[in-house]
Amino acid sequence: MEYRYIGKSGLRVTPICMGTMSFGSWSDKKESFKILDTAYDRGINFFDTAEVYPVPPNAETVGVTEKIVGEWIQTKPRDSLIVATKVAGAAAGWFVPPVRHGMTAIDRFHIETAIEGSLRRLGTDYIDLYQVHWPDPIVPIEESMEALGRLVQAGKVRYLGTSNETTYGLTKANTIASYEGLAKFQSIQNNFSLLHRRFLDELADACRQENVSLLPYSPIGGGVLSGKYNVPEVPKGCRFGDYHYHDNPRQRAMADRFVNEGTLELPSLL
């Protein structure tokens, strides 16, 4: 199995990370364990979750994914796994995080509260990669990085990452961390696929220059690029059947061209 390092960290991971956001919604515990076991048996050592999972996020099921993953972790040697999870940021625009009554922020209180909950649900002493799920436009980044750095110093977190962040947010955070002697973000988890190429701008250059690894999520556009939504009736039990993401005509056209022609360059549709 091939391995890669995340940023300039000691995290040596497989190129494929097993995402878990459907565990507890579309996939029950039995099916989730089967998926996790299959991934592990085939050599994958990198597993990603979040305190707000599963999706669609709601107050009744929030935290269930971490509990499922936590129970599964107990069946494997802990040091054979690289476990990543996330602290919910401020309201993400399309939904309010269903934790702490929707009053989330990337401040000391919420970061410390979130990590304790994740550690408890995952049944582990530490998180290998702890990520900010969404940037916080209000709380000063100095406070956020100081609070996250305290988790590293306490041994509850090995390394830090961010998600859904901009070039400015990433470089600002890591510049402050450098000045203050704090832990930096080693990774950024952003949406990236043929349908979402926004990473191919100055953010990609910043990551190369600063040795920050991209952890792309939704690499096949949430299944859109598989072509399964290019049918008269949307398949039942599929993720974007609920999100209505497939209703974008341009994305369906891109999926058609990708599936039928195998082409990667779609300049007329971008």
Catalytic residues: 53
Q: In the structure encoding, which two tokens stand for residue 5, read together?
A: 């390092």
CA terminus-to-terminus distance, the chain: 35
> Could you please report the per-residue DSSP string of the chain?
---EE-TTSS-EE-SS-EE-TTBTTTB-HHHHHHHHHHHHHTT--EEE--TT-SSS--TTTTTHHHHHHHHHHTTS-GGG-EEEEEE--S--SS---SSGGG---SSHHHHHHHHHHHHHHHT-S-EEEEEESS--SSS-HHHHHHHHHHHHHTTSEEEEEEES--HHHHHHHHHHHHHHTPPPEEEEE-B-SSS--TTTTHHHHHHHHHT-EE--B-TTGGGGGGTTTSSSSPPTT-HHHHHTGGG-HHHHHHHHHHHHH-----GGG-
How would you list the strands of the sheet with 18-19, edge to edge? Answer: 18-19, 46-48, 82-87, 127-132, 157-163, 185-189, 213-214
Q: Of 90, 143, 93, 87, which Cα lies nearest the Cα of 116?
A: 87
